[in-house]
Structure 1
Amino acid sequence: MSTKRLMVIGLDGSGKSTLADLVEGGESNHAHREDCYYRERCFEVPGRYIENHWMHSIIIMLAQNQASSMLMLLDGSTCESFYSSGYARAFTCPCLGVLTKAPADADARAKGIAKLEAAGCTEILCVSTETGEGVGELLDWVAARM
C-alpha cells in the first residue's frame, strides 16, 4: 500500500506549490507539469484536472486511493472557480477549503468564501503567505490529519 499524502488541488496560479512548499518545509523547483507532482508529504494535482469536469472523477479516485486529507484552493485575487456544486462532499478524506491570496477587502473575501461553501467545503481558511495570515492554522490543520 502506498503512503497517504496531503492532496492539493486548485486552478493554475492558485498557490498549490506555495502551500505544498510550506507543508514540505522547503521549496521545490519543479517546472509546470500536466501530471500530478508527488512529494514526500503531499501531492499537487494540476489545475487542468479542475478545469475539465470530465476529470473530476479522477481527482476523486486519487483522493480515495492516495490522500489522507486534502486542500481545495480558490485564488482570492480572481475568485475563479470550476468546482461543481457540492464537489467537496464527494471525498471521503477531510477537506479544507483554502482561500489563497486572501484579499483584505471584506466583500471580495466573502465572495471567495461563498464559492468554497457552494463547492461543499465545511471548513474554510483564509491564507496569505505575503502577510502570514492563516499559515500557522493551515499547518496545524495539516499536522492534525497526517
Structure 2
Amino acid sequence: MKNKAYKDVFVEGAISAEFIAQSIAKHQSKMSIGAHNIFLGQVRADIVNGKTVTAIEYSAYREMANTIFHEIREAAFAKFDLTCMHIYHSLGTVKSGEVCLFVFVSSPRRKTVFEALEFIVEEIKAKAPVFGKEIFDDSTHQWKVNT
C-alpha cells in the first residue's frame, strides 16, 4: 500500500440534506457541466429474524479505505469523461432513514453520469473496506452482510 495520504471521504454520522444541497450548489458556476447524477445510500429499517434495524454503526480501516476510494475515483476518471466526482461515506451511527453514502458525479453529457455512477457505486460495494454493524430495536446487533 502507498504511504500517500488521500482525501478523507468519511463524515461522522449521517450525511445531512444541507451538506448535499451545498455540494450541488457549488457546481452551478462550472459551465462545462451538462449533467449531474447523485446516489444517496440510506439505512433501511430491514426486518431480520423478526427484529427491526434501527441504525447501522459504520467503521473502517480509514487509511486503506481512503486509498481504495482514491483508486475507484481514478478508475472512474480514466473510464468516463467526468468533470468532477465526490464520494462521502458515514462513520459512526446512522439511524434508519438517514443517508450514509453520497456519490456525486458531473460530466458534459447525461449518459456518462448514469454509467459512471453505477460503476462507482458497484466498485465501492465490492472493494471498500467499510463495515456496518446493524443495531436492532431490542438493542442487539450483528455485522451487516452486503447483498
Normalised by the length of structure 2, the TM-score is 0.24
Please state which structure has a larger fraction of its residues in strand. Answer: 2
Please state which structure has a larger fraction of its residues in helix. Answer: 1
Rg larger in structure: 2
Q: Which has the higher contact order (CA 8 A, sep 6+)?
A: 2
Normalised by the length of structure 1, the TM-score is 0.24
